[in-house]
A and B are shown apart, each in its own frame.
Chain A
Amino acid sequence: MPRLSPTLILIIILAAIAAVAAIATTILETGLVLTVTSTILAVILALAAVAEIVGLIDRVLGHSSTVSAPRASLTNNLQNCGDNPLDLGNQTLSVSAALGMYFVSLLERPNSYVRFQGQLSLHPSADPLNTFDEIINQLLVPDGKHLLILASQGGMGKSTIAAQIIRCLHERKAIKAIYGDSAKAEYYDFSKSQFVNIDQPFTDPPTFLNLLRQQTGLPPVSTQNLKLNIRELRDHILDTRAIILVDNLDTVDLRAELVSFLRQLISPELRVIVTTREVQALDVDNRNLMIAHLNPLTEVRIASDFLSWHVEKHLVQSPHLSRLLPDLHNDKLVNKLIERTGGIPLIMQIVANEIAVFSWDRLDELPENLFGHELLAYLYDSAWHDLDRQGNSGQLAKQILRFVARYSYEGTRITSATLIDQFTDSSYEGDLQDALRHLYERFLIINNDMKKGDFSITPSLAGYVVSKLKHGDSN
C-alpha cells in the first residue's frame, strides 16, 4: 500500500482547516470577505489534494512508468540475455566516455561472459540457483529493486558481469543510456608525466551530482542546496531509460551519503549499479537495494568448464592454449590450480596462459602465502620482469601496455592502425607482432577484433602499469 506523501498530508490538513474556517466565519457572521477568502482557499487546497490523490492512484495502478520495458515475467527465459555484443558505433546505446575503454570493450566484446552456478550470491535471495536471472528480473520490472551493488575482490569479474547485465537490459529495451564513472582518486597525466590528485573524489555526492548533471545535459548547480539539486536531476532524468554505473569504488559504506544519494535517484526508468571491492554495514534497509557477491570458482567441474571457455575464446590470439585442453579433464591438476589461485577467474586465466607456455610446474613456483590482489600483483610483477628478458620486443611490449593504459583512461579506442602509427618507426626497436605475441601469451592484453584490432587491458593491469610509472619505471 503506497504511503501518503507529506505534501498530500499537509494539503489535506490545510484544506480541512480552511473548510472549518469557512464554515465558522459563515456561522459566526464575521464578514463576507473572510468567508469568501476561506472558501476559496479551501477549494484551491481541495483541488490540489485531488491532483495529488490522482497521482497516487497513477502509481497504485502502475501508470507512473511510461517508457519502461514491458513488465518481465519472473519465468522469462534469461538464459542468453546479454550474450549479444553491442555495436556502439550504431549508437544504439549512449555510453559515458568517463567509464573508460575497458568497460566499453566489455560491452562490445562477443562471448565476454560465461555463467556458472554459484558464481553470484544475493542476500536475501528468492532463487539462489538463478541469481543472475533474479537480479535481471528485479532490474527489469518498474517497481523492482533498481540499485545493485556488486562486491568482490579484484579479478572476480565485477565489471564483466556489470557489462553483461547492461547488455541484457539494453536487449530488453530497458535502457538507452549509461551514465557514471570509474572511481579514481587520482589519474596519471601522461602529457606531464605526473599524477594528479582529484581534489574531490566523486564519492562525495555533490561532485558526483555535478558529473551526472553534466552527462545528462543539466546546467551547473545554481545553489549549494543538495536536496534541491538532487530533485532537479531526478525531475530531469525522468522518462529517460538509463543506468548509472559507479565502477571500481573501493569500498561502499551503505550508510554513507553516496549510496543514500543514489537511492534517491532510482525510478521505474533509472537503475544504478555499483561495483566495489568491499561492502560495509550490511545490516541496512535493503528496500530497492540488492547486494550481490561474486564467489570464487571452487568446484573442479566448474573451473574446468571455465578454463575450456577461456581456451576457446582466446585460441586465435594464443594458439599455445590448445596444449591445455587435454589436461582440463585431469581433476587433480585443475584442483591444484584452484587451490593456488584461490579460484579467482582473472588469476586463473593468467596462470593458465603461463602453464600453456611453460608447464603445470608453474603452479609450484607461485608463492603459497599470496592470494587475491597480492597474488595478482605478484603475477604482474613476474610478467613485467619476464618482458625485460625478451629483448627489444619485450621492451616494446611494455611500451604498448603503457600506451593502452593511457588511452583506457582517456576513452580512446586503440586499433591495429593506432599501434602501427605509434610504434612502427625507427625510435622503437623490436617487432610489433612479436611484442603483441608476448602480451597475448601472458594474457596481458585483450584484442576484441582480430581484423582491425581493438585493444584493451584490465583495470587492475592498467593500475599496475601506472603504479610502475609512479615509482619511476619508465623503461
Chain B
Amino acid sequence: METVTDNPPATTALDWPELEALAHEMQQPGTGALNQNSSSMAEIDTAITTILEAGDYHSLINLRLLFNFLLARDTATGFSVVQRLELESIKSAEKLVDLQHLADFLGARGHNLHRFGYHEQAIDAFSCAQHIYLDLGQEFSALKSYYMTSLCLRALGNARAATTVLNDVLASVSLSDPWRGNPLQVKAWLLQDQGDLEEAEQCLREALALQRQVADGQILVAGTLADLGEILGLQGRGDEAFVCFDESLDLIREQEGQYARQEARTLLKRAQLLIRLKRYDEALGLLEDASIAIGSAGHYYDLFWRLEYARLEIHLRKHQFRRAIQKTRSVLTYRRHLSLSNTLLLKSAIRRSILRVGPPR
C-alpha cells in the first residue's frame, strides 16, 4: 500500500508523527475513534483546514493516504470530515495533475457513492477513473473500475448492461486469479435476479474459494458468505444458510466496528430469511440492530431503504397495516432522495416475488 513517505514531502507544518499515531489508533478493532463527533475527527478536520490555508496540495494527498482506511472500510465514509477529506484530495490531485492519485481517489469515491446509493454518480466516477487508468497504461486498474459499473447498473435496473460488463470482465481475468471472485459474486446476483438459484450458488462457492486466497480478504469472504446464505435460504436450506450468516458476522465482528455497513447487510439478509420462516419478532430485532449500526454512520441510504422494505413486509404479514403504510412512506423517502424509480421498485417486487428470489434490490 502506498504510504506517505512514497510521496513528495509535506511542506505544511503539521505534527505528522502525531497524525500517524492517530491513524494507527483509529484502524484498530474496537477503537472508539470511529465516531462523528470524536476529537480524532476534529483533529483530521483541523489538519485539512491548515493544509488548505497553506495551499499545500501535496500534503492534502499525503493526509488522504494516511487516512485511506476511513474511506476504504465502510463505517466512517459518511462522516462529514471524511467526505471533506475525500473531495479535497480529489481537487488537490486535479490541481497537481497527479493522474495516478486522481484515478485512485475517483475509484474510491465511486465505491462510496455506490454504497450510499448514488449509483449514477458512482458510474461517472468509475468511468473517469477507468479512462485515466487507461491513459496511464494500467489496464487491470481500469478493468476494476469498469467492473464496478456493473454493480451500479444492476442497482439501477439495467441487468442487460450489467451482464455485458461482467462478461467482458470475466473474459479478461484468468480462472485462477483470486480477484475473479469479485465479478463472480456479482454474476451470482444477476443469476439470482433471473431466478437461477442453483447456478447462483455455484458461482458464489467458486467466488468464495477464490476470495479465501486473498490476503486480508476476510471482509470480501464475509460479504459472499452473506450472499450464499441468502441463496441457500431461498432454496429452503435454512440450517446451512444460518451457518453462512454466522460465519459472515464472526468475520465482520473481528474488526469490531470498522465495517458497520457490511454487518448491517448480513443482518438484513438473515432477517429476510427469518421473515420467510415467519419468525417476525426475531427479524425485527435484527433489523433494529442493523439500523442502529449504520444510523450514526449515516449516508447508507441504499441499505436503509431495504431495511425499511423488510419491515414493511413484516407489518403486512402481521396485518399491521398502519405500520406498513408508515414503512412504505419511509422506503419512498429514501428512494426519492436517491432518485430511484418507484415504478422499477414495483416491477422488481412483483417479478422477484413470482420468481421467489427475495425482495427487490
Which A residues fall within an 8 A CB radius of B? 51-52, 54-55, 58-59, 63-64, 66-67, 89, 91, 94, 96-98, 176-177, 191, 214-219, 222, 231-232, 234-236, 238-241, 407, 410-413
Segment at the interface with A among B171-179, B215-223, B242-250, B291-299: B291-299
Contact status B281-A177, CB under 8 Å: no
Q: A89-B30, A217-B298, A413-B32 are in contact. Are A240 and B37 (CB under 8 A)?
A: no
Q: A67-B285, A410-B38, A410-B42 are in contact. Are A215 and B326 (CB under 8 A)?
A: no
Choose among A176, A215, A231, A407 the residue that contacts B296 (Cβ–Cβ < 8 A). A215
Q: Which 8 A-B pairs have the closest CB atoms?
A: A55-B322, A217-B295, A219-B337, A97-B37, A235-B326, A235-B330, A412-B39, A410-B39
* Listed A/B pairs (17) with beta-carbon separation below 8 Å: A55-B320, A58-B319, A58-B321, A63-B318, A67-B285, A89-B30, A96-B296, A217-B297, A235-B327, A235-B330, A239-B284, A239-B311, A240-B288, A241-B288, A410-B37, A410-B42, A412-B39
Q: Which one of A63, A176, A218, A239 has the highest number of Cβ atoms from chain B below 10 Å of its Cβ?
A: A239
Contact status B296-A91, CB under 8 Å: no
Q: Which one of B284, B295, B318, B329 has the highest number of Cβ atoms from chain A below 10 Å of its Cβ?
A: B295
Chain B positions within 8 Å of A216 at CB level:
291, 295
Chain A positions within 8 Å of B320 at CB level:
55, 58, 63-64, 66
Chain A positions within 8 Å of B325 at CB level:
55
Which B residues fall within an 8 A CB radius of A? 30, 32, 35-40, 42, 46, 257, 280-281, 284-285, 287-289, 291-298, 300-301, 304, 308, 311, 314-315, 318-323, 325-327, 329-330, 333-334, 336-337
- Once the chains are docked, how many angstroms separate the CA of A63 from the CA of B311? 15
Q: Please give me the residue from chain B that is nearest to A413 by CB atom.
A: B32
Chain B positions within 8 Å of A177 at CB level:
292, 295
> Other CB < 8 Å A-B pairs besides A52-B322, A55-B323, A63-B318, 6 of them?
A52-B321, A217-B295, A217-B300, A235-B333, A238-B326, A412-B32
Report whether over half of chain B's contact residues are helix, strand or loop; otherwise say mixed. helix
Chain A positions within 8 Å of B337 at CB level:
219, 222
Choose among B285, B321, B330 the residue that contacts A232 (Cβ–Cβ < 8 A). B330
Q: A63-B320, A191-B42, A222-B337 are in contact. Are A236 and B308 (CB under 8 A)?
A: yes
- Once the chains are docked, how many angstroms separate the CA of A412 from the CA of B36? 11
Choose among A98, A232, A241 the residue that contacts B333 (Cβ–Cβ < 8 A). A232
Chain A positions within 8 Å of B284 at CB level:
66-67, 239
Q: A67-B281, A191-B42, A217-B304 are in contact. Are A411 and B291 (CB under 8 A)?
A: no
Chain B positions within 8 Å of A98 at CB level:
37
- Once the chains are docked, how many angstroms separate the CA of A219 from the CA of B331? 12
Chain A positions within 8 Å of B298 at CB level:
214, 217
Contact status A176-B288, CB under 8 Å: yes
- Once the chains are docked, how many angstroms separate the CA of A109 from the CA of B287? 29
Q: A91-B257, A94-B296 are in contact. Are A232 and B329 (CB under 8 A)?
A: yes
- Once the chains are docked, how many angstroms separate the CA of A193 from the CA of B297? 29
Choose among A91, A97, A241 the residue that contacts B38 (Cβ–Cβ < 8 A). A97
- Once the chains are docked, how many angstroms separate the CA of A232 from the CA of B336? 12
- Once the chains are docked, how many angstroms separate the CA of A91 from the CA of B260? 12
- Once the chains are docked, how many angstroms separate the CA of A176 from the CA of B329? 23
Chain B positions within 8 Å of A413 at CB level:
32
Question: What is the minimal beta-carbon distance from B209 to any residue of chain A, in angstroms?
Answer: 33
Q: A97-B36, A219-B301, A410-B42 are in contact. Are A236 and B323 (CB under 8 A)?
A: no
Question: What is the minimal beta-carbon distance from A123 to any residue of chain B, in angstroms?
Answer: 33
Chain A positions within 8 Å of B294 at CB level:
217
Chain A positions within 8 Å of B285 at CB level:
67
Q: A55-B320, A58-B320, A410-B39 are in contact. Are A94 and B329 (CB under 8 A)?
A: no
Question: What is the minimal beta-carbon distance from A382 to any residue of chain B, in angstroms?
Answer: 31
Question: What is the minimal beta-carbon distance from B316 to any residue of chain A, in angstroms?
Answer: 11
Q: Which one of A66, A98, A177 has the highest number of Cβ atoms from chain B below 10 Å of its Cβ?
A: A66
Chain B positions within 8 Å of A239 at CB level:
284, 287-288, 311, 323, 327
- Once the chains are docked, how many angstroms separate the CA of A254 from the CA of B257? 40
Q: A63-B320, A238-B327, A413-B32 are in contact. Are A407 and B281 (CB under 8 A)?
A: no
- Once the chains are docked, how many angstroms separate the CA of A209 from the CA of B329? 18
Q: Please give me the residue from chain A that is nearest to B315 by CB atom.
A: A66
Question: What is the minimal beta-carbon distance from A56 to any residue of chain B, in angstroms?
Answer: 8
Question: What is the minimal beta-carbon distance from A99 to any residue of chain B, in angstroms?
Answer: 10
Contact status A66-B323, CB under 8 Å: yes
Q: Please give me the residue from chain A that is nearest to B304 by CB atom.
A: A217
